[in-house]
Structure 1
Amino acid sequence: MAKIAFILLCHKDPKAIIDQAQRLTAAGDYISIHFDARSPRSDYEMIQAALAENGSVTFARKRVKCGWGEWSLVQGTLHAVEAAVEAFPRATHFYMVSGDCMAIKSAEYAHEFLDDDDKDYIESFDFFESDWIKTGIKEDRLIWRHYFNERTQKGLFYAAMNLQKRLGLKRDVPADIQIMIGSQWWCLRRRTIEWILDFTRKRRDVMRFFSTTWIPDETFFQTLVRHLVPHEEIETRTLTFLMFTDYGMPVTFYNDHYDMLLSQDYLFARKISPDAHELKRRLGALYASDTTDFKISNEGRSLFKFLTGRGRIGQRFGERFWESETTLGRDRELLIIVSKKWHIGKRMLQLLRDKTNIPAIDYLFDEEETVLPDLGGIQATIEKRTRHRRALMRMLFDYYKTDRLAIGMDPGDIELMKDFYTDRSKTRLLEIETDYSDEWILGHAMRVGLAGERTPQEALDRLIPTIRQDFFYESDRIRDEGFLDMHILRENGTSEENAEALAKFLTIPEERALELAQTDGFFSD
């Protein structure tokens, strides 16, 4: 049976550290603590005194003053790892955690999970080829020597780097290693840890190199594991569930996140709010329990994106300078068909292609696979289509040699609708109003990743009404805009009522509109 030695780097809240150590060791695991040397000595002594009688707790032999992005974080980790290897000869795995982490599975489940797959768990992506780094410097992290902290000594940090550039002091990466990058929250087997410690003693050149790189906690262990361990024994993922906001800040979890956290395919989660006392109590009890039956749906990130997106309604697409004086054409008509059920929207577009002479294009701003003519690359991706939307539409009008063109849109594309309505061309809008059964909403949720095959029923019971309300909200936003020439086709409307709406939208005789409105199975799912 696996036994875990947790490697805890911390710098504050001694009571929370004591509680965490007691929780993790109560299930038979171990913990090795490095408490930042910048923190008060009295806090460290409080932790030592409280855990003195716990034989499953040890401390790093040397405390290091740690700084974000500095080598000191790796040095402190290595001190804690060395203490754990010496103190806990029965530990089979070493798991890196912070004071903000908590288990979201039971110890029994975690032990079985690690026993079932003899691998190291660590994010490990090629430093130069991957897009893991989203912002800030990249290659400069490695090829220049960094002696100052970019966060606290920004002037000195960049002055030193620029001086090295002027003097041509660029250095090479050690020739026999491939630099990797990834999250610092890893879980490694004992053999791997021993190999790493042996490597640190033998390869002083590599240690000197990493000691002056920037943010080495994202590259040091990631590189050494990939260098020392066969690739088939590495699982390129972390076992700690964490998310980031659009602003690059870690998402904090609170009391009402309990069910969502348990359904994720991870063993721990970060960051737990210090004020989430009920969540901490429940997760602490869970780790000590014998529960092993967890329904893993893994939809946490999709749910977070969906729920936060509902509160961010504003100008998604500002006017671009090359479009400020452009128009689709005064004499042209753009017909926008809006339906949340895309298959019904596409059904209407197909009717236009079959029954009228109006060219009709499916959801070109929502589906990458929408068939479009070759327009020189502007049609290649949704991002390009959206960015150059007016230019794209002008080219489509020209391609089809028409003054009337119909397109499909999702109700969530309201900023695009508003933009087209400001054009000097004539814009009409037809919203197809449909019913949403629980079964359809569930299928939609699974298609877009908001739910999975194993999402608990109680979670679905909360999610389905939320999604339904979101659909209604999107529809309300469209109607609140007061678009001119807006018409509604209703699933619950009569053929005559729908024919009237179609006749006005398409400016066709009501007899032809009635033929379209009476299409068999038009609203079927």
Structure 2
Amino acid sequence: MAKIAYILLCHKDPDAIVRQARRLTAAGDYMSIHFDASANPAHFKAIKAALEDNSNVTFARKRIRCGWGEWSLVQATLYAVQAAADAFPRATHFYMLSGDCMAIKSAEYTHRFLDENDADFIESFDFFESDWIKTGMREERLIYRHYFNERTHKRLFYAAMNLQRKLGLTREIPGDIQVQIGSQWWCLRRRTIEWVLDFTKTRRDVMRFFRTTWIPDETFFQTIVRHVVPEEEIRTRTLTFLMFTDYGMPVTFYDDHYDLLLSQDYLFARKISPEADDLKRRLGLLYAAEGVQFQISNEGRSLFKFLTGRGRIGRRFATRFWETESTLGRERELLIVICKKWHVAKRVLERIRQVTNVPAIEYLFNEEDTALPDLGGIQKTMEKRHRHRRALMRMLFDYFDTDRLIVCMDPENIDLLNDFASDRSVTRMLEIECHFTDDYLTGHATRVGLAGDRTSSETLERLLPTIRNDMIFESDRIRDAGFENHNRMREHASVDNNADALADFLSIPPDKAREIADTDYLFAD
């Protein structure tokens, strides 16, 4: 059975550290602690005194002062890892933790998971090719030598880097390694840890290189593990659940997040609020429990993105400066079918094609695999389609050699609707209003990742009204925009009323519009 040596880097809250060590070692696992040398010495003495009788706890042989972004964090980790490797020969896995982490599964589940998955769990993405770094420095982290801390000595940090840049004092990355990047919260097998420790003793050139890189805790283990372990034995993910806000700050979990955390496909979570006493109590009891069955739905990140994103929907989406003077063409008509139920819009579009022969394209701004002609690459990704939307539409008009073109859009695309409505061309809109049952909303939540097959009924009961209100809000927002040439079809309206809306939208005779509206399966789920 798996036996875990937890590697804990900490600098505060000695009582919480003692509780965490006792809780994790009570299940037969181990812990190696590095307590920051710059922290309160009395706190370290209190931790050592409280845990001195616990043979499953050891401490790093040497304590150093740690600074964010510095090599000191990696060195402290190596000291704690070496102490654990020496003190606990029966440890099969080494798991990196912080004082803000707590288990969100039982010890029984955790050990079984590691027994069934013979692999190393560590995020390791190509440093230069991946998009793991969202903002800030990239190659500058590596090619320049960083001797100062950016947070505590900002002027010296940037002055030293700018001087190296001015003098051309760049350096080469060791030729036989491919730098990787990822989260520092990893879980590695004993064999891998031994290989890494051997690597640090034999490859002094690589150690010198990483000692003066910036934020090496995101690159050192990620790179070395990928270098010494076969790729098929690495799972490029972390077993610690953590999320970040749009501002790069870690999301903090509180008492009411208990059910959410348990449903995630992770073993630990970071970071737990110091004030979340009930959450910490319940998670502490959970780790020691036996026979607990976990319903994994794993919707945490998508829920967070959905709910936080709702607060930003009022932002104006301005046109790009290079598109200010662009237009689809004064003589052209863009016909937009707007519907939340994509299958309904696609049926309406197919009937329109059959009756009118007007070129029609489905959800090109929402579905990556929408059938599109080759337009020189502008159509290949959703990012390009949105960024160059007017140019894309002009090219589609030209490709079909037409002055009338129909496209489908989701009601959430208010920025696109505003942009096209402001164009010099004629823009007509047909909004299709549908009825949303609870079963449909549940299916929708599953399709977009807000829920899973095992999401609890309690979670769905709280989630469905939010989704329903969100759909209503999207429709209200379209109405409030006051678009010209805006027509509506309704699921519960009469065929005659829907035919009138279609006739006005498409500028076709009433009998042709009725032929489309009278299709009996248009609104079927």
Provide TM-score, normalisation by structure 2: 0.94
Partner in structure 2 of residue 424 of structure 1: 424
Q: 1:8-27: per-residue Cα shift (whole Å, max 9, x none)?
A: 11112222222222222222
The 2-side partners of 1:366 and 1:2 are apart by 45
Partner in structure 2 of residue 131 of structure 1: 131
Alpha-carbon distance, 1:240 to partner? 0.8
Alpha-carbon distance, 1:362 to partner? 1.4
**AA partner of residue 285 (structure 2):** A
Q: How many residues align?
A: 525
- Quick check: 1:315–1:415 contact (8 Å CA) kept in 2? no
Name the SS of the counterpart of 1:310 in structure 2. helix
1:323-362 aligned at under 5 Å gives the runs 323-362=323-362
Alpha-carbon distance, 1:416 to partner? 1.1
Q: 1:384-416: per-residue Cα shift (whole Å, max 9, x none)?
A: 222222233333334434333222110101111
The 2-side partners of 1:420 and 1:133 are apart by 33
The 2-side partners of 1:489 and 1:177 are apart by 60
**Higher mean Cα deviation, 367-376 or 487-496?**
367-376
- 1:218 equivalent to 2:218? Answer yes
The 2-side partners of 1:399 and 1:230 are apart by 48
- 1:18 equivalent to 2:46? Answer no
Partner in structure 2 of residue 290 of structure 1: 290
Name the SS of the counterpart of 2:46 in structure 1. helix
The 2-side partners of 1:491 and 1:165 are apart by 64
The 2-side partners of 1:300 and 1:147 are apart by 39
Distance 1:93 1:380, change over 3 A: closer
Name the SS of the counterpart of 1:497 in structure 2. helix
The 2-side partners of 1:200 and 1:323 are apart by 53
**AA partner of residue 73 (structure 2):** L
Alpha-carbon distance, 1:82 to partner? 2.1
Alpha-carbon distance, 1:357 to partner? 4.2
Distance 1:502 1:167, change over 3 A: closer
Partner in structure 1 of residue 261 of structure 2: 261
**Higher mean Cα deviation, 28-37 or 71-80?**
28-37
The 2-side partners of 1:400 and 1:231 are apart by 47
Q: RMSD of aligned C-alpha atoms?
A: 2.1
Q: 1:362-394: per-residue Cα shift (whole Å, max 9, x none)?
A: 112112222233333333332222222223333
Name the SS of the counterpart of 1:275 in structure 2. coil
Partner in structure 2 of residue 78 of structure 1: 78
**Higher mean Cα deviation, 361-370 or 158-167?**
158-167
Partner in structure 2 of residue 141 of structure 1: 141
**AA partner of residue 222 (structure 1):** Q
**Higher mean Cα deviation, 279-288 or 439-448?**
439-448
Q: 1:296-338: per-residue Cα shift (whole Å, max 9, x none)?
A: 2222222222222222113363112222233333343322211
Partner in structure 2 of residue 478 of structure 1: 478
Distance 1:204 1:373, change over 3 A: closer
1:50-199 aligned at under 5 Å gives the runs 50-199=50-199
**Higher mean Cα deviation, 408-417 or 313-322?**
313-322
Partner in structure 2 of residue 450 of structure 1: 450
The 1-side partners of 2:199 and 2:360 are apart by 64
Partner in structure 1 of residue 504 of structure 2: 504
Alpha-carbon distance, 1:166 to partner? 4.2
Partner in structure 2 of residue 237 of structure 1: 237
Alpha-carbon distance, 1:71 to partner? 0.7
5+ residue gaps in structure 2?
A: none
- 1:463 equivalent to 2:456? Answer no
**AA partner of residue 52 (structure 2):** A
Alpha-carbon distance, 1:229 to partner? 2.7
Q: 1:442-479: per-residue Cα shift (whole Å, max 9, x none)?
A: 22222222222333333333333332222222112112
Name the SS of the counterpart of 2:499 in structure 1. helix
**Higher mean Cα deviation, 184-193 or 436-445?**
436-445
The 1-side partners of 2:357 and 2:231 are apart by 58
The 1-side partners of 2:384 and 2:27 are apart by 54
- Quick check: 1:5–1:94 contact (8 Å CA) kept in 2? yes
Alpha-carbon distance, 1:167 to partner? 4.1
Name the SS of the counterpart of 2:97 in structure 1. strand
The 1-side partners of 2:456 and 2:139 are apart by 44
Name the SS of the counterpart of 2:273 in structure 1. coil
Alpha-carbon distance, 1:349 to partner? 1.6
Alpha-carbon distance, 1:66 to partner? 0.4
Partner in structure 1 of residue 272 of structure 2: 272
Between the aligned residues of both structures, percent identity stands at 71
**Higher mean Cα deviation, 347-356 or 122-131?**
122-131
The 2-side partners of 1:200 and 1:387 are apart by 46
Provide TM-score, normalisation by structure 1: 0.94
Partner in structure 2 of residue 5 of structure 1: 5
The 2-side partners of 1:190 and 1:112 are apart by 17
